[in-house]
Structure 1
């Protein structure tokens, strides 16, 4: 099972928020943005920072996917 941040990417597009804006507002680094884009683990603290900055919940920005789902899309 892995984490997909596709929901976060769509949310940023819908709200017209750039990666630079998210980094500033959520106090996260470019390294965290890279991890998000690659579907790698980020700490719960960083997820909380993003949720506070975007006024959303973790369900709005991430989902867990099985290996099968991850390979198909």
Structure 2
């Protein structure tokens, strides 16, 4: 199963916040920012930091995509 953070980046646009500002406020590394942009897995700890800053839930910023959608149905 793959993951995407498109909802996170849409939320940042809606809140007029840059990824760099989020990184600074949440206190995670530039490596995590890169992983988010590339839709790579990040730790739950990092996701929790983001959710605290944005006052949102995990499903507000993360979507899980099945590797083979036909098998999931």
What range describes the TM-score normalised by the shorter chain of this pair? 0.7 to 0.9
* Structure label with greater radius of gyration: 2
- Number of residue-to-residue matches in the alignment: 69
Stretches of structure 2 that go unaligned for 5 or more consecutive residues are: none
4+ aligned runs moved over 4 Å, structure 1: none
Gaps of 5+ in 1: none
1:41-66 Cα distance to aligned partner (Å, 9 max, x none)? 10000000000000000010001012
TM-score (norm 1): 0.88
TM-score by length of 2: 0.88
Name the structure with the higher helix share: 1
